[in-house]
Structure formats: structure tokens, C-alpha cells
Structure 1
Amino acid sequence: MSSTSRILCSRLRERIMSAEQAAELISPGANVGMSGFTGAGYPKAVPAALAERIRHHNATGGKPFRINVWTGASTAPELDGALAEVDGIEMRLPFQSDPICRGRINSGTMEYVDYHLSEVSQYAWSGFLGKMDIALIEVAGIREDGSLIPSSSVGNNKTWIEQADKIILEVNAQQNAKLEGMHDIYYGTALPPNRKPIMLTHPADRIGEAYLHCPVDKVIAVVETSAADRNSPFKAPDATSRRIAEHILEFFQREIEIGRLPKELLPIQSGVGNIPNAVLEGLDAGPFKNLTAFTEVIQDGMLKMLKSGTLGVASATAFSLSPDGIREFDENIDLYRDKIILRQQDISNHPELARRLGIIAMNGLIEADLYGNVNSTHIMGSRMMNGIGGSGDFARNGYLSIFVSPSTAKDGAISSIVPMVSHVDHTEHDVKIIVTEQGLADLRGLSPRQRAHAIINNCAHPDFRERLLDYFNRACASGRGMHTPHLLDEALSWHQRYETEGRM
């Protein structure tokens, strides 16, 4: 099927042009809202053409050509990497995972704003981000009336289309045509004081429409593409990931026996990566049935759970599938299409819904300290890794906030449990469970000093456990205060030692 057959609006067929022609419509300094969320549904052709245009322009020695890039979350090398490589991004928000972007952010040559993903649309609606000049959106098709069939991610596309002065559409023929009908775009959001309750009480509820509204007069270009989403393959769970998963599954079983969780658990939210996929694999192999997910992304592990029947329904804003996962989805889309709902991210990550549904949130950490504060974004306090993403939306508002990590990094040179985190993303007030391969620390109902004992004894690696306990005991004996004991001259010394000696 050609992509032209997916452009059913006659007025928009008249605006078909090449990616190079569309790239010429983007001016230096423009605020450009692009589709894309975790390597799914991002524009594939125009960013590459724009990067080449910027490369040529900057080679002439004139004023640098840069734009401001706003997305749903991370994209792919064809977008973030291509534009960052030619120094074409002045400001990036709200999340990224590209190594070239990361290098420019940490060298100070690219500005970066790290937002909770649920808040980005509100910031745009409120005008905090400035005026959006152009929205560049990938879609799976255009209907006769100009409405859009969303692609493999929704993200902030609804907001970008509403906010932008002009719109460029990429119609991707490689996106499965049977995506149509899987989306639920809610048009009932508003700013205070005009907000109404969001009437969603179960992950399977549909409260919106299957299509994106798009003013035809705002569309200045339509570009036909045929290119697959790009995501890295997931590694098979290793022994560390499996052990972390086992601790979490044992915890769920205890909570069910106590009566704090129903036998079908509560809706699951899972961050992206190999450890979350190991947990999903463990859930699929366990005794659980009729589970639900209310999360950001559909990963390979969730496809397996949907196929086996362990998971009854999954609500998200995007796919984050390996190449094998994409093939599995495409080959069995008739099975999945009634079990998956894709929403915009201000709904998929909405605090009201996370609190109402009682989400079990499982996300990764870079480091945690003795009292349960978590750093999920910065290496050694200053160097940005990716961003907070949606973890804060769910950790603060979910029923359970579980943070997971191997107990060490860099071949044992770094402890994931430290006296004091070098950057705080999730405070001790929001972190309920910490899990490493060493064990699980349930922090609910514990005072700071009780939390310290639980974290050291259950989560710290044996190579660092005695030193952490020594630090804690000396902090308690210092007389500086017993509520949250710290030695200020030593609290970040582990990070300094790694910076100077290569080992904590």
C-alpha cells in the first residue's frame, strides 16, 4: 500500500512535497513540536533533511542555524542524533536519551529542560514555553475530513497540533494500518479553574476519540515516508535482573496474603529497560491472571503478557518495542488491537488517574541514599543521563512506588546505595520500595533511621555495606541531630573519591 493511499483528504494531497522542501519551511530559531515517544512515532524524513540543511548553512560561516525541539519523550538517532550532530538544537525538552544530545547537554552547548511528562502540555497551554511555530507530526494516515490516524505513539501530539501556528505531517506507510481505532484522544482537558474530573476508572475505559483533530488550513506540508520505528533490542534478563524480579514477585505475593493487594494486583506502570522487562517476564510466568497496565509504554514483556492472557488490557501513550517485538505486534495485531489503548501523555501520566487507579509504579534509579531519596537523572550530581521522564508522575501519585537497580555499577566501582544522593529527583516522601539483587527494602511506615537500616541491610552490596553502616553510625554519634543523621563533610565524599580515584 502506498502512503498516498493513506492521504484521503483531497486538500492535503495538494500539499504533498519532499522532505527537503518541507525542511525549507522551518526557520532558524523556531520552536518545533515533534512527535515521538521512546523511539516510536517520530518523524523520520524531515528532521534528516533539516539536519542536512543546517549542516550546509553552518558551513558557510554565517549565524548558526538552530531550532528548539519539543517532543513527547525520547526519539531516535534520525531525529535527536542527526540534529544534535550538526549543532542544530538550541533548546531540548522534555526528555531525551540520545548520546550526542547528552554530550552537548553536558558540555553546555545545548540547553535542556527536564520536565515531568504529565506537565508538558499544561506548560504549553499556559504559555510558559513560548509560542510554538511548527508542529512536525508522524501519522499513520489522513482521513477525508483531515482528521489524523495517530501513529505508534501519541505523546504530546494533540497539544502540538493545537498550539502550533503551522503543521507539517509525515504519513508513514510502514506504520500498520490496523493501528486505526487503537487510540483514545481525550479532548476534555482544560486549565484551572475550568477543569473537570477525568471520568476514567479502569485502564480499559475509553473516554475520547480515535483520531486527532487537525485544522486543514494550518497544514503547510505533507511528506510521504516508509520507514520503521527504531528501538534497540532488549537483552535477555541476566542473573541480576532475574533476582530483582524475584524479590518483587515475592513482595507481591506477601502483599496479597496480607490483603493489601488483590490477587490480580493493581494496574502496573513499568519504566523502560531490561530490569522492568525481567519483572514482566516473571509476572507472566507466575500465578497472576487478568492483570492490567496503565503505563507510558508497551514493551516486549507486555506483549507476551497480553498474548498469554496474564495481562488483560494495557493503556499507554506509545510502544517501545524491539525489532522482534515490532514484528510480533505486526503479525498478530488483530489479537492486540482490542487489548491496547494509546492515549496522549497528559492522560497516560495524569496524577489524578494514577492516584485513583492505585498504580503500582516500577522505575529505575541511578542511586539511592540511606534515607530513601532517589536520583534517577544525573551522574555524579552534574551530568545529565536522560531525564526524569514519567517516573515522578507515578512515584508521587501511585499506590506503590518501587525503584529498582543493580546494587553496583561500573564493574563494582560504584555503589548504587550512597550516604547522600548527588541529585534528588524523588524525595524520601515518595519512595516506598527500593530493590536491588541483594534484596528489597520496604520503607513504608519507617522513620529515617529505620529506613537507613532497611536499605543498608537489604539493598547494599556486601562490598559497601560495612562502610555505609560505619558512616551511618558515626553520623548518629556526631551529635548533629538524630532525625536524619549526616556528616556534611563526608556525605558526598564517595562521589568525590570516584571522580579522583575511579572507585567509591
Structure 2
Amino acid sequence: MSDRIRHAGLREKRMSAEQAAALIHPGMTVAMSGFTGAGYPKAVPQALAARIDEAHARGEAFRINVMTGASTAPELDGALARAHGIELRLPYQSDPNLRERINAGELNYIDMHLSHVAQYTWFGYFGAVDVAVVEVTAIDEAGHLVPSSSVGNNKTWLEQADKVILEVNHWQPDALDGMHDVYYGTALPPNRKPIPLVHPDDRIGEPYLRCDPDKVIAVVETSAPDRNSPFTPPDAASKQIATHLLDFLAHEVRRGRLTPQLLPLQSGVGNITNAVLAGLGEAGYRDLTAFTEVIQDGMLDLLKRGVLRMASATSFSLSPEGIDEFLANVDFYRDRIVLRTQEMSNHPELVRRLGCIAMNGMIEVDLYGNVNSTHVAGTKIMNGIGGSGDFARNAYLSVFMSPSTAKNGAISSIVPMASHVDHTEHDVMVIVTEQGLADLRGLAPRQRAQRIIDQCAHPDFRPMLQDYFDRACRESFGKHTPHLLGEALSWHQRFVETGSMRM
């Protein structure tokens, strides 16, 4: 299998995943590749989990700190969580086993903006990185690393880690070579310089990752696929949300605030954004661009149909069918997709410079536009803020979307007061549910509240929201942002106690 390892010195460092995992010790901080189920190491984490299980069976303590780009997959987060092998996890996760242990208080989890991770590591906020475990597609004769299906924080991991373990995955196609753009022009304050990117398709870096061969302590060969979630066709609510948003974008074009090519698109992962992407093609848009975090199935379809001219991201988030489509036509997509480090894909300065249209999901929004995208009832983490904050605060248009209810109508996504705030009212411009769209731009708090109630709330909860708001306007301590402090979170308390927000 060593045809992918063309550097003579690194070829001599080949070993099994079990041997490589033996080089990771309790208490270490281990930075691993991976972003939304793509490009994560497949073999070493599982071997490490088995080693941790054996240590625990002997009565020995064995836990590590784990840093990645974003979420990974069962072979990494799931395996280490089941082995009770994680002491600290950051910056994002979506694995059910890991989520369960986080919410049980069994490990510490730092949920943070994805654009901050690399620079905080450089600033030394997380301490030393002992080992980096990074998946790559190949290693050339000079020791350059061809990235795989995600770039994420790999540049920083390779530079900051004391030691490096490389997984060379033969499943990743050779044709990925040339798709990546790794920028090495960042610096620490006060020596920073402007990033020379002014269009989504600008290439400002190198196609390879650099790594000092002397830091590499192991090279493990694998041949295993990325594991992403199956694509679920958008339901009726998702399609209706997409319709409302597409009508709004068409209105903005007619008003002259957007051109027919819109602006670079950013979209979170999920059925709603895939429905929006599909709708863009049906609405006749062409020659669009994307400056986002992940390439989803919907974007592949738009690229193939010419709706999207190009897409810039840091990773893929494809269904099994999407992976098959990409692998079958990788040469076509390589000319239309640029994969960057996440400190570039999520860079707030670049988001504002390019004027992105940010479209993200939410758990709930309150009457004044404060969005909770991470916690159920303010206490139980779902996944994390991810990159939504990087885009929302800096976007030309900041859109948050959700069905108006959840749990078969037991929960309202429009609440009197958000139980946890990830995006303040100052960063939220547009709210969309299947009921309608609320354009909050230029509105004061009480105007925002009435518009959200009228346009976005479900009819089953609209009278309750109106009643709360009317009484708050009369009885609140202050009238600028009216609240009844004694009952502002009563809807959440009722849900915790009864399983429903209904009266």
C-alpha cells in the first residue's frame, strides 16, 4: 500500500495503528484532524480506545484531551467516549455517545467559535499540544502532505504539536491533489498583515500541508471511508421555510440590495439548508458562489447544474450517495471547489469583506431576536455553535431558520426569553419558520417582538406569546425590552417538568 508514501524517511516510519496508539499516553493533549465527518483519522483513535479500555480494566486511569476541527465520527468521538477516555473535548461535536457523557457531566466540553480554535492554540490558551493525529491522502517525495477530504485545523496541529502521527488513507482519491489552498501568511499580533483574498475563488496559499519529517513518529496506512449521515429529503416544513427565504431573496434583488448573482452563500448543515439550495436552482439563479464551511449534497448538485460557479469551504459533509457522486466526478469538482483551513473559511474579516449571506439553523429564538443554537432548556448541549457565530455577526445578511415547533408540537421554537443565547439580537437580521419570515432589520425591540409573533410563531403558541408580550409591555420593570422576569423562562420549566411547553 506504500505507493501513497513517496518520502523515503517517512516510509520507514510505517507501523500498525496499535503501535502508533501506544505512543499516546494518559493526560496528553491530542489534536486530531476531522471536520463534519470528513478527513478524520480512522484507525489510531479506535486502537487508542481499545488501549484505554484495557488500562481501565487493570484499574489504571487513562484519559486525554481531544481537539479537532469540528465534529468527527463514531470511529473517533464515539469510540473514545464509549471508552471513557476523554477528559476535555473542543470545539464541536455531534456524536450521541459523546453528547450523553457531556450532559452527564462526565467530561468537560468547550463549545467555541470555530474561527478561534487555531489562533487560541497559537496564543497558548490550551497549553501544549503533545501529539497531532492527522489523516492525509498522500505524502510526496519532498514530504509535502496532500490533505484529504477536510483541512480544518490541520495546518495548526502539524505546526504546534510536539509529535505527529499521520494516517495515509488510500480510500481518499488521488484526484484530491490540487483541490486545497493552505495559507501560511498568518501571524500573531502585532505582526498580522491583511489576508490577500478578495473573491471566494482566490487561491492565496499552497496545495499541500507542511510538516517537519523529524516530528513524525508514526505513519499508519488505512483504506476506510468517511462516515457521514444519510441524506434525508427535505420535509414539508423545510420546503416551506425555503420558499419563504427564496421569496425574500428575490425581493432583495428587486429592491437592488442584491444582484441576480446574490452574494457568497454560507449554509449550515441540514435538511432546511439543502431545501434552500435546491430552491435556488429551481428559481433560475446562475453563476452563484459559496464561501462556507462545508460542501453538502445540495452544493454538488448546484455545481453540476451551473447554479453555483464555485464553492470555497474547509470540508465535505456528504451523504453516502453524495460521496459516490463526488468520487465518480472528482475531476469535475476539483476545478470548482477550494478547500481551505478553517481559520480562513471561517475568518470573520473575510466573511465581512465578501459580504456573505449566512443561513443557519437554531433551536429557539426569543421575542427580541436572541438565538439559541446549542442548548435544550438552556442546560443540555446538542452539538455546538460551530461556525454560525463567525458568519452571523459579520454577514451581509444573517438568517436563522427552524420549524416553529418541535417534539410533535410540544415545544415552540419561538419563546418569551431564550434559555441560552449564542447569537444576540444585534447579530440576527432574519428569522424564518414554516409559518413565515420576519425581517428584523431596522426595528426596535418591541417592533421585533410583534413581527416575530405575527410572522413566525405557530398558531398553537401565538396567543400565548401575544399574551405574555402584552402583559410584559404593561408590567415590565422597563419598557424598552419588556419582560416578566418571574415567568420569562416558565415555558422551559414547564417543558422540563411535563414534556411540553403548552399550558
TM-score w.r.t. structure 2 length? 0.99
* Residues 336-360 of structure 1, C-alpha deviations (whole Å, 9 max, x = no match): 1100000000000000100000000
2:393 is the counterpart of 1:396: yes
* Residues 50-72 of structure 1, C-alpha deviations (whole Å, 9 max, x = no match): 0000001100112x100100000
- Which amino acid in 2 is paired with 1:32? V
Instruction: Name the residue aligned to 1:367.
Output: 364
Return the offset for 1:286. 1.3
Return the offset for 1:479. 4.8
CA separation in 2, counterparts of 1:106 and 1:208?
40
CA separation in 1, counterparts of 2:171 and 2:411?
43
CA separation in 1, counterparts of 2:107 and 2:276?
35
SS in structure 2 at match of 1:440 = strand
SS in structure 2 at match of 1:263 = coil
* Residues 405-430 of structure 1, C-alpha deviations (whole Å, 9 max, x = no match): 00000000000000000000000000
SS in structure 2 at match of 1:463 = coil
Instruction: Name the residue aligned to 2:270.
Output: 273
Q: How many residues align?
A: 501
- Which amino acid in 1 is paired with 2:416? P
CA separation in 2, counterparts of 1:479 and 1:318?
47
Instruction: Name the residue aligned to 1:66.
Output: 63
2:137 is the counterpart of 1:140: yes
Return the offset for 1:287. 1.4
CA separation in 2, counterparts of 1:396 and 1:38?
22
Return the offset for 1:13. 0.4
CA separation in 1, counterparts of 2:197 and 2:164?
30
2:20 is the counterpart of 1:22: yes
SS in structure 1 at match of 2:463 = helix
CA RMSD of aligned residues (A): 0.5
* Residues 420-455 of structure 1, C-alpha deviations (whole Å, 9 max, x = no match): 000000000000000000000000000000000110
CA separation in 2, counterparts of 1:145 and 1:68?
32
Instruction: Name the residue aligned to 2:320.
Output: 323
Instruction: Name the residue aligned to 1:492.
Output: 489
Instruction: Name the residue aligned to 2:38.
Output: 40
2:230 is the counterpart of 1:227: no
- Which amino acid in 1 is paired with 2:343? D
2:382 is the counterpart of 1:385: yes
Structure 2 counterparts to residues 48-447 of structure 1, below 5 A: 48-62=46-60, 64-447=61-444
Instruction: Name the residue aligned to 2:11.
Output: 13
- Which amino acid in 1 is paired with 2:19? Q
Return the offset for 1:127. 0.2
CA separation in 1, counterparts of 2:138 and 2:236?
43
- Which amino acid in 2 is paired with 1:359? C
Return the offset for 1:96. 0.3
**2:419 touches 2:489 (CA, 8 Å); kept in 1?**
yes
Runs of 4+ aligned structure 1 residues displaced above 4 Å come to: none
CA separation in 2, counterparts of 1:216 and 1:499?
54
CA separation in 1, counterparts of 2:69 and 2:365?
27
SS in structure 2 at match of 1:32 = strand
**2:476 touches 2:483 (CA, 8 Å); kept in 1?**
no
**2:476 touches 2:484 (CA, 8 Å); kept in 1?**
no
- Which amino acid in 2 is paired with 1:454? R
CA separation in 2, counterparts of 1:12 and 1:334?
28
CA separation in 2, counterparts of 1:74 and 1:114?
11
CA separation in 1, counterparts of 2:409 and 2:437?
19
- Which amino acid in 1 is paired with 2:3? S
TM-score w.r.t. structure 1 length? 0.99
Return the offset for 1:115. 1.0
Structure 2 counterparts to residues 459-478 of structure 1, below 5 A: 459-478=456-475
Return the offset for 1:180. 0.2
CA separation in 1, counterparts of 2:136 and 2:220?
10
Return the offset for 1:265. 0.2
Return the offset for 1:334. 1.3
- Which amino acid in 2 is paired with 1:348? S
Share of identical aligned residues, percent? 69
- Which amino acid in 1 is paired with 2:449? A
CA separation in 2, counterparts of 1:149 and 1:425?
35
SS in structure 1 at match of 2:488 = coil
CA separation in 2, counterparts of 1:390 and 1:245?
21
- Which amino acid in 1 is paired with 2:487? E
- Which amino acid in 2 is paired with 1:378? H
SS in structure 2 at match of 1:165 = strand
CA separation in 1, counterparts of 2:374 and 2:478?
29
SS in structure 2 at match of 1:5 = helix
**2:114 touches 2:390 (CA, 8 Å); kept in 1?**
yes
Return the offset for 1:123. 0.4
Query: Structure 1's 479 and 323: CA in aligned 2 closer, same or farther, altered over 3 A?
Result: closer
What residue ranges of structure 1 are gaps of 5+ in the alignment? none
* Residues 134-188 of structure 1, C-alpha deviations (whole Å, 9 max, x = no match): 0000000001111100000000000000000000000000001100000000000
**2:132 touches 2:161 (CA, 8 Å); kept in 1?**
yes
SS in structure 1 at match of 2:46 = helix
* Residues 290-315 of structure 1, C-alpha deviations (whole Å, 9 max, x = no match): 00000000000000000000000000
Return the offset for 1:16. 0.3
Query: Structure 1's 479 and 372: CA in aligned 2 closer, same or farther, altered over 3 A?
Result: closer
CA separation in 1, counterparts of 2:94 and 2:500?
26
SS in structure 2 at match of 1:140 = strand
> Given the alignment, which residue of 452, 455, 463 partners 2:452?
455
- Which amino acid in 2 is paired with 1:30? M
- Which amino acid in 2 is paired with 1:310? V
CA separation in 2, counterparts of 1:15 and 1:502?
55
